[in-house]
Amino acid sequence: MPTFRQQHPIGPYVLDFYCAKARLAIEIDGMSHDVGDRPERDLRRDAWLKARGVTMMRIPAGEVTTNFGETVDAIVRMAASLTD
């Protein structure tokens, strides 16, 4: 089972969750990610992480609350695929 750190700092950012072995970042995006300049900031952040070999997985907050088990399964599958 992959190990994740919560509120993991990396460069100028703090990731919601990070699995070092898989180099996988998980962001749980609430509604604030859809307004103002936030979408552009998220794109810059994702590009910065990608340039450093980190895969970003963004999950809408509503998905976590309505489909928790499926969300966890998807995260574990993604982490496993990146460590194979």
The residue ranges of DSSP E strands in 1-84, in sequence order, are: 5-10, 13-19, 24-29, 55-60
Report the Cα 78 to chain-centroid distance in Å. Answer: 11
pLDDT at 57: 95
In the structure, what pLDDT confidence band is assigned to residue 23 with cuts at 50, 70 and 90?
very high
The pLDDT tens digits for 26-74 are 999 876 656 577 888 999 999 999 999 999 999 999 999 999 999 999 9
Interval 10-15 mean pLDDT: 96
pLDDT at 66: 95
Strand pairing partners for 58? 27
pTM for this entry: 0.87
Select from 3.20.20.150, 3.40.50.10490, 3.40.960.10, 3.40.50.300 the CATH code of 5-83: 3.40.960.10
pLDDT at 2: 77
pLDDT at 58: 94
Is 80 exceeded by the pLDDT of residue 84?
A: no
DSSP per-residue letters across 30-66: -GGGGSTTHHHHHHHHHHHHHHTT-EEEEEEHHHHHH
